[in-house]
Chain A
Amino acid sequence: MTAEAWLLLGQVWVWIGLAVAAVLVLWGAGAAEENARGAWAFRLLLVPGAVLLWPLVALRLGARLRGEAPGLAAHRPPRRAQDGAALLLALFVPTALGTAMAIRQDGPRHAAAVLLEAPEGSGEASGEAGASE
């Protein structure tokens, strides 16, 4: 995909997100959440999240309005996933740092300056260039 296509996709995503955010802010929040009824000031804070995650918001809004309750699942945080993510991070960090140091190349300012020999024939070329100035 080209850069223009990615940016167009981003714009479409944001426009749909704004539509979902409008539904959530004006009606959905109060319909789905008892604690949101009659509370309006906080709803402006919901706009960025709804724009960024509108597919998830639309799915959850539908589920809440159908009366689907999470039941005991609401009390089962993804501990295995968290353990796995933490372990992967613990492995990734030293690997990434080691790799970064291994591929690092010292720049010109770290190395002693070396006087290069002029390539053959360059004297004429530079002489001509100099003459033209």
Chain B
Amino acid sequence: MSVRYVPVQWTRNKWVYDAVLVVCVAVYVLGFIWSGNPAADATRPVDGAIVRMRAWGSCAFLMLTLVLCIGPLARLDARFLPLLYNRRHFGVLTALVAFSHAAAVLGWYYAFSPTPAWEAVLTSAVGWDRLAGFPFEMLGVFALVILAALAATSHDFWLSFLTPPVWKALHLMIYPAYAAVVGHVALGYLQDVGNPAFPGVFVSGALAVAGLHLAAWRRGPAAPAAAWIPVPGWRAIPENRAAVVRVGPDERAAIFRIGGALSAVSHACAHQNGPLGEGRVIDGCITCPWHGFQYRPEDGCSPAPFTEKIPTYRLKLEGGEVFVHRDADPPGTYQAPLVLPAREAAA
């Protein structure tokens, strides 16, 4: 919540999450190197240095694939929500692993020439006009720059300073970065490898990212047309939970049922634009499933001493149906909860 910034807001869960991540990365990289003949000298087709750069590179690809799968998985099935928690640390560690891959490449392929390493990378990038022989290294450089920018702007300060939509738009660059990584591997390693094991994992992972995003996109709510938009299935909203209604091209309202009444607030958390409507009401406050930011349902304000506010929406009951107005009220605007008839409130 809104408190004085610290470098990292550690909690016990974050320690556990990060410890598991670091152990998994260490086990994977060391296991890959150990199983790949790390002592092979430069006379072998795959020597020890190449094994190490492949260990870091494949680890970075798998981590990036997992990071990108978590979002749509959590949208499709709430049981994956705990994976979403602390995903930023996952992303930062992925960038560090990718940098280790780049350092291993620079320290081998570009290390034995009087030409500075980065200058050698740029001057050797030829063949842009063909696919076979395309300078796939530059796709990796492009992805690395994006991963660096995203990791460097992962602190909460950037979210508030840039505003959530700008921050979110910046972090959408993860999609072109992943596309570049797919191209980097497909036009590089995949052109040369004989063992089908990693190509199988690579193709499966990349297709899983594509398929999950497609599935999550298809589940999105439909676009509205009128000023007052019906809330389908409002009778089935469980107590302390919400239904999400699309009220504009980029806007969604979360309609919560709390104690026999309905309240509508923005679906986007003020913190990271997390999906508030997928959260629940805890201690009388709507609680974001991503990082636990809380808001009062009637006015969208965080309880004191916190200062976050989200927009609220008007609700009305007409002809036995509930409608939400498509225009949001300014953040923190009080809206009296829509008290349901006794028959509906008990449902």
A94 and B163 in contact, given A74-B270, A77-B250 (Cβ under 8 angstroms): no
Contact between chains at A81 and B148 (CB < 8 Å)? no
The 0/1 profile, CB within 8 Å of B marked 1, for residues 16-34 of chain A is 0000000000000100110
Known contacts A48-B148, A76-B268; can you find 11 more A-B pairs with CB under 8 A? A35-B3, A48-B152, A49-B153, A75-B164, A75-B251, A77-B268, A78-B250, A80-B249, A90-B217, A93-B206, A99-B186
Residue of chain A at shortest CB distance from B192: A107
Bound Cα distance from A35 to B308, whole angstroms: 12
Q: Could you say which residues of chain B place their CB within 8 Å of the CB of A88?
A: 175, 179
A-contacting residues of B (Cβ < 8 Å)? 2-7, 45, 72, 116, 118-119, 122-123, 131-132, 145, 148-149, 151-153, 155, 157-158, 160-166, 168-170, 172, 175-176, 178-179, 182-183, 186-187, 190-192, 194, 203, 206-207, 209-211, 213-214, 216-217, 220, 248-252, 266, 268, 270, 273, 310-311, 328, 330-331
- Looking at chain A's contact residues, the main secondary structure is helix
A87 and B2 in contact, given A7-B122, A97-B186 (Cβ under 8 angstroms): no
Residue of chain B at shortest CB distance from A93: B210
A112 within 8 A of B: no
Residue of chain B at shortest CB distance from A79: B250
Contact between chains at A64 and B2 (CB < 8 Å)? no
Q: Could you say which residues of chain A place their CB within 8 Å of the CB of B251?
A: 75-76
B-contacting residues of A (Cβ < 8 Å)? 3-4, 6-7, 29, 32-33, 35-39, 41-42, 44-46, 48-49, 51-53, 56, 60, 64, 70-83, 85-94, 96-97, 99-101, 103-105, 107, 109-110
Residue of chain A at shortest CB distance from B191: A104
Contact between chains at B163 and A83 (CB < 8 Å)? no
A72 and B311 in contact, given A52-B148, A81-B169 (Cβ under 8 angstroms): yes
Selected contact of B220 from candidates A72, A81, A83, A104, CB within 8 Å? A83
Contact between chains at B131 and A97 (CB < 8 Å)? no
Bound Cα distance from A133 to B190, whole angstroms: 42
Residue of chain B at shortest CB distance from A4: B119
Contact between chains at A99 and B216 (CB < 8 Å)? no
Q: How far is the CB of B219 from chain A (nearest CB, A)?
A: 11
Contact between chains at A35 and B160 (CB < 8 Å)? yes
Selected contact of A72 from candidates B170, B176, B203, B328, CB within 8 Å? B328
Q: How far is the CB of A127 from chain B (nearest CB, A)?
A: 30
